[in-house]
Chains A and B, each alone.
Chain A
Amino acid sequence: MDKSMIQIRDLQLILDNRTILDISSADIPCVGIVACIGANGAGKTTLLKALHGIVRPQQGCITMPLQNSNSALRSALVLHHTPMIRASVRTNLNLVSDSPYPPQAGAVDEMLQEIGLAHLAQAPAKKLSAGERQKLCIGRARLLKPQLVLLDEPTANLDPTATEQVEELIRMLGKEKTSVIFSSHQLAQVQRLANYIIFMAKGQIVECGTPAEFFNNPQTAAAKQFLKFSGGLLV
Chain B
Amino acid sequence: MLSAINDALLLLGQPDSGILGIVRVSLQVSFSALLLGCLVGLPLGALLATESFPGRKILIVIVNSLMGVPTVVVGVVVYLLLSHTGPIGNWGWLFTIKGMILAQFCLTTPLIAALSRQLIEDAWIHHRESFSALQLAWLPRLKWLIWDCRFSLSIVLLAGLARAISEIGAVMIVGGNIDHHTRTMTTAIALETSKGDLPLALALGLVLMSLVIGANLITYLIRHSAEQRYG
Contacts and interface: CB of A to CB of B under 8 A. Distances in A.
Interface of A: 49, 52, 54, 76-79, 82-83, 85-87, 95-96, 98-100, 124, 126-127, 140, 144
A127 B231 contact: yes
Contacts, number: 54
A127 B231 CA distance: 7
B130 A79 contact: yes
B229 interface: yes
A95 B132 CA distance: 12
Contacts of B148: 85-87
A86 B151 contact: yes
Contact of A98 (B126, B143, B150, B229): B143
Contacts of A85: 127, 144, 147-148
B21 to A, nearest CB: 41
Interface bracket on B: 20 to 34
Contacts of B229: 124
26 contacts: A54-B129, A54-B132, A54-B133, A78-B133, A79-B129, A79-B130, A79-B133, A82-B130, A83-B130, A85-B127, A85-B148, A86-B147, A86-B150, A86-B151, A87-B147, A87-B148, A95-B136, A98-B134, A98-B136, A99-B134, A100-B137, A124-B231, A126-B230, A126-B231, A140-B134, A144-B134
Judged by DSSP, the binding face of A is mixed
Nearest to B149: A86
A83 B140 CA distance: 17
B9 to A, nearest CB: 43
